[in-house]
Amino acid sequence: MRRERREIIHKMWEVERQADIDRQLAHGYTPSDFGAVDLFEEVHQALYEALAATYGMTAEEYQEHEYEVSEMLLKKGVCCW
pLDDT tens, residue by residue, 7-53 = 999 999 999 888 888 777 777 666 666 554 578 888 999 999 999 99
Residue 61 counted as domain residue: yes
Domain presence at residue 63 = yes
pLDDT at 65 over 90: yes
**Residue 81 in domain:** no
Check residue 53 and give its pLDDT: 96
Q: Tell me whether residue 9 is in a domain.
A: yes
Mean pLDDT along residues 47-63: 96
Q: Which letter, b or e, does each residue of 7-43 get, where b requires 16 or more Cβ atoms within 10 Å of its Cβ?
A: ebeebbeebeeebeeeeeeeeeeebeeeeeeeebeeb
- 13 domain residue, yes or no: yes
Q: 28 or 54, which is more confident?
A: 54
> Domain count of the chain?
1
Collapse the DSSP code of 31 into the 3-class scheme (helix H, G, I; strand E, B; otherwise coil) and give the result: helix
Contacts of residue 3, Cβ cutoff 8 Å, sequence gap at least 6: none
Range of the domain at 55: 2-76
